[in-house]
Amino acid sequence: MMQAATEPTTAPTRRAPEGADAKLRRCVVTGASAPRPTLLRLVVSPEGVLTPDIAGRLPGRGIWVTPDRAVIEHGIARKAYQRALRGPVQVLAGFADLVERLLLQRLLDAIGLARRAGDAVAGAQKAEEWLAAGRVGLLLLARDAGADARRRWQHLPQGAACATVLTADEIGRAFARDRAAQIVVRQGPLMKRLMTDAGRLAGMRRTGSDPAETPQHRDGE
């Protein structure tokens, strides 16, 4: 029998240590457990509509699902969310598309925060300057980047991560320009948020032939 991952009804008597099992949540569709930040929380609005809680802060009883388009749509078809929430829940048409749009906006907002904080730069010249200075912790390379850009970033410093989940137009939007083939981000809390947000969006954009990928660490050479 499928078990729902819900918010705890009472506060714990003490804070769980970092990485403890208490931070795991179970996907109501696949049954697999994963760290809470990598999953998507769903709640029911006062109108009885299933609502993505992208930031994980909305009030009410929540359930958790893997942010993967196929998983989410499978859950809709099987009425997994109604069973997990134990009541009638309205799932609007295009729910998976809504999730993708919200996750995209959250990622772009995070990039904007990193840009304003001086933790991210776009454009080949500035990116290569950061690479030479050892500042690169994360590369966001456009899914539609040209061959030259892909060759330029074939090798990254050891420990740096790379994700190709955004288009050049989307990267450009985050930097108030038309297009940008890449963004590099320095190590820090904002980089960690970007990696999490990029990983969740990648799941919503992944298909059998889709190049969208979650951030991957490269060993470098």
CATH number at residue 173: 3.30.1330.30
Joined tokens for residue 29: 């569709």
Are residues 83 and 110 both part of a single domain?
A: no
Q: What is the mean pLDDT of residues 91-115?
A: 97
> Within 78-211, where are the H helices?
80-85, 95-116, 124-132, 147-152, 168-174, 189-205
Q: What is the C-alpha to C-alpha distance for residues 91 and 122, in angstroms, rounded to an integer?
A: 38
Are residues 87 and 127 both part of a single domain?
A: no
Are residues 88 and 135 both part of a single domain?
A: no
pLDDT band for 212, please (50, 70, 90 cuts): low
Are residues 51 and 141 both part of a single domain?
A: no
Are residues 122 and 163 both part of a single domain?
A: yes
> How many structural domains comprise the chain?
2
Please determine, for residue 5, whether its predicted confidence score (pLDDT) is greater than 80. Answer: no
What's the confidence (pLDDT) of residue 21?
45
Residue 198 forms part of a structural domain: yes
Q: What is the mean pLDDT of residues 165-172?
A: 96
What's the confidence (pLDDT) of residue 216?
67
Are residues 124 and 80 both part of a single domain?
A: no
Please determine, for residue 10, whether its predicted confidence score (pLDDT) is greater than 90. Answer: no
Are residues 83 and 25 both part of a single domain?
A: yes
Are residues 67 and 143 both part of a single domain?
A: no
What's the confidence (pLDDT) of residue 217?
60
Please determine, for residue 171, whether its predicted confidence score (pLDDT) is greater than 70. Answer: yes
Are residues 36 and 124 both part of a single domain?
A: no
The upper half-sphere exposure of residue 132, i.e. CA atoms within 13 Å in the direction of its Cβ, equals 6
Indicate if the alpha-carbon torsion angle 137, 143, 145, 149 is positive or negative.
positive
Joined tokens for residue 46: 């006062």
Joined tokens for residue 82: 């109604």
What's the confidence (pLDDT) of residue 1?
35
Are residues 161 and 190 both part of a single domain?
A: yes
What's the confidence (pLDDT) of residue 208?
56
CATH number where 36 lies: 3.30.1230.10
Write out the E strands in the chain.
24-26, 33-35, 40-44, 50-53, 63-65, 120-122, 138-141, 161-163, 182-185, 216-217
Q: What is the mean pLDDT of residues 36-49?
A: 96
Q: Provide the domain limits for residue 71.
A: 21-93
Are residues 121 and 191 both part of a single domain?
A: yes
Are residues 88 and 120 both part of a single domain?
A: no
Q: Which residue has the higher pLDDT, 218 or 31?
A: 31
Residue 161 forms part of a structural domain: yes
**Could you tell me which residues come within 8 angstroms of residue 95 by beta carbon, excluding any fewer than 6 positions away?**
50, 72, 76
User: How do residues 108-151 score in pLDDT, each as one tens digit?
Assistant: 999 999 999 999 999 889 998 998 898 999 999 999 999 988 98
Q: What is the mean pLDDT of residues 39-68?
A: 96
Q: What is the mean pLDDT of residues 148-165?
A: 89
Please determine, for residue 156, whether its predicted confidence score (pLDDT) is greater than 70. Answer: yes
Q: Could you tell me if 200 and 38 are in contact, meaning their C-beta atoms sit under 8 angstroms apart?
A: yes
The pTM of this model reads 0.83
Mean pLDDT of the chain: 86
pLDDT band for 192, please (50, 70, 90 cuts): very high
What's the confidence (pLDDT) of residue 204?
97
